[in-house]
Chain A
Amino acid sequence: MRSNRLGWILLAPTLLILGLFGVVPFLYIVWLSFHQWNPAAVNPDIVFIGADNFRRLVFDAGFLSSLGVTLAFVFFAVVSELIIGYFLAQAFLKEFPGKAFFRTIHTLPLIMAPIIVGSVWKLMTTPSIGIIPHLLDSWFGCELNIGQSAVAAFTVVVIMDIWHWTPLVTLTLIAALVSLPPDPFEQAQIDGAGKRQIFWHITLPMILPAVMATVFIRLMDALRIVDEVLMLTGGGPGSATRFLGVHIFREVFPRTNYGYGAAVSVIVLYLTILVCWLLYVSMLAPRATKKG
């Protein structure tokens, strides 16, 4: 083998950039989360305060409500996307004219910028401009005002996320379902298994690795949702849609309370790492068993 020095030289720019803009910020924020630093306060110095920031976090109503709202959003969005995505993937397995065309249309939202998705749904749901409040009013006589009703705003954000990301679930599940061997299904049908039995005992266990990968990718993305929400509701009304990312952007960051903001960021990062680790394990475990 040629000298490894050349290999390191080729890797160096990548490692340098990722180090400066990935590792250093990470170390910096962890270090900062144990300090008190507010340039606008009476004492603008950086003071070491141990875990006080984290202690404060546990009793911070704003942070806790934001955490709760985020978890609720992630739950509703990801579960709905999985169920809808599975049925759409099943529907795509049949042959019908124009399949490729419909598939293209279905993939379309994936390439859209989150901020544009937010703007599209803002135009759909803002009272007096949007078509949805108008139709709901004239057909059912009920009012939809995402600027005032917390439930309405939360629901619209979930629906927007379903609109945006269900196609990803559909496409990954199609890939998983297409690669299944037909034999077990034929055998089960011969043995007289019902549709539900086939799903729970054959289909689901076989596509489970793909489903897990999809779930964790969706979890990770749903946990970091910011752009769409900033555009659509700005985190309001009140704190109904102030997810963790929005909380950092809107509440923590502008207050120049950097030490405390760092602690919030570290917790959010920890949550994401936890999910990523699960993703990593779920993606690697099946591969390892295959090899063994």
Chain B
Amino acid sequence: MQRQRTWLILLFWIFISFLTLFPIYWLFVISVKPAVELFATPEVILRDAYWQNYIDVLNDATVRGYMLNSLIISSCNAVLVTTLGFLACYALSRFDFGGKESIFFWTITNRMAPPAVFLLPLFLLLTQVYRIGDFTLLDTRIGMILVYCTFNLPFAIWTLRPTVDGIPKELDEAAFVDGASPWKVITEIVFPLCRPGLAVTLILTWVFAWNEYLLAATLTNFRARTLTTGLSEYITTTGTEWGIMAAISVFTLIPALIIFSLVQRHIVAGLTFGAVKG
């Protein structure tokens, strides 16, 4: 009886996992099919793989440029927000100034606001207000790195706060008594102790920046286009190149999958602003 039930439960979870994995598997199937075979009767089982779509994507200088942009923007943004978030958390944790809890809660509202609302004002500000002479932030990597701070910086602050709060204050008090400078205390005492938390924050903010689409679609044209926006260019034309689109999707997906294996335990806490520990 007990054994039968275990089998039923296993069967149930295999079914659920199939529902989860099949769409991703299907993406892969489409990406390794030549265009002529796509419109034949869809077949679930893959007979032979045709890698030309991937080769075409990698040979396309435009797409390579998008990949490079995505890589630079998300990496710089992740490093920037983790550093600034860490410093901000140190300030919020160790100093006692009025309204610091209000500041803390205020930061998260920046993340909660829907990005669609900020398309219009950010576009207008980037083109007309935030400019030095002829240089505008529109369609530049630095512009996107700064814009992505609006959602990633609050995230970094919220995930790092418990980590920094968890480092005993006595440690830095003792160092101050010994005559260490604030900079030295932060970099040589607090930073090494916060490393695990900082790594998780760095990785998750990197994924969020890598996955972002809407702001990049509005605030870039061609110089700073990211991979996600490049992907959408393949559907707007009348004859969609399904194979290429699937191959680019796989390329966009791979970094996230690698990262997923690293920080799986922290994803739920990350997506619920720390309200739920996974």
Contact = CB atoms under 8 A, between A and B. Distances in A.
Interface string B42-82: 10100000000000000000000000000000000000000
A165 to B, nearest CB: 9
Contacts of B232: 115, 230-231
Contact of B182 (A1, A6, A21, A28): A6
Interface string A16-41: 01101110111011001000000000
A276 B176 contact: no
B50 to A, nearest CB: 15
Interface in B223-278: 228, 231-232, 235, 242, 245-246, 249, 252-253, 256-257, 259-260, 264, 267-268, 271-273, 275-278
B118 interface: yes
Contact of A7 (B94, B176, B275): B94
B189 interface: no
B211 to A, nearest CB: 3
Interface in A153-176: 163, 167-168, 171-172, 175-176
A21 B253 CA distance: 28
Give the interface residue-count category, chain A: 35 or more
Contact of A172 (B12, B94, B95, B276): B276
A175 B260 contact: no
Contact of A111 (B118, B147, B259): B259
Interface string B156-199: 01000000000000000000100000100000000000000000
Interface string A223-254: 11011001100100000000011101100110
Contacts of B88: 10-11, 14
B119 interface: yes
A130 interface: yes
Central interface residue in A25, A120, A122, A130, by most chain B CB within 10 Å: A25
**Number of chain B interface residues as a range:** 35 or more
B93 to A, nearest CB: 10
Interface of A: 1-2, 4, 6-8, 10-11, 13-15, 17-18, 20-22, 24-26, 28-29, 32, 88, 91, 94, 96-98, 102, 104-116, 119-124, 126, 128-131, 134, 163, 167-168, 171-172, 175-176, 210, 213-214, 217, 220, 223-224, 226-227, 230-231, 234, 244-246, 248-249, 252-253, 258, 261-262, 265-266, 268-269, 272-273, 276, 280, 283
28 contacts: A6-B91, A7-B92, A14-B87, A14-B107, A14-B153, A15-B103, A18-B153, A22-B150, A32-B121, A98-B10, A107-B264, A110-B268, A111-B207, A113-B252, A116-B231, A116-B253, A116-B256, A119-B231, A119-B246, A123-B26, A123-B245, A175-B277, A213-B276, A217-B273, A223-B114, A227-B214, A249-B217, A272-B117
Given A167-B20, A224-B115, A268-B117, 14 more contacts: A6-B182, A7-B91, A8-B91, A10-B87, A25-B122, A32-B124, A102-B16, A113-B210, A129-B38, A134-B42, A171-B278, A246-B116, A249-B218, A253-B119
Interface of B: 6, 9-10, 12-13, 16-17, 19-21, 23-24, 26-27, 30, 38-39, 41-42, 44, 84-85, 87-88, 90-92, 94-97, 103, 105, 107, 109-110, 112-125, 130, 146-147, 149-150, 153-154, 157, 176, 182, 207, 210-214, 217-218, 228, 231-232, 235, 242, 245-246, 249, 252-253, 256-257, 259-260, 264, 267-268, 271-273, 275-278
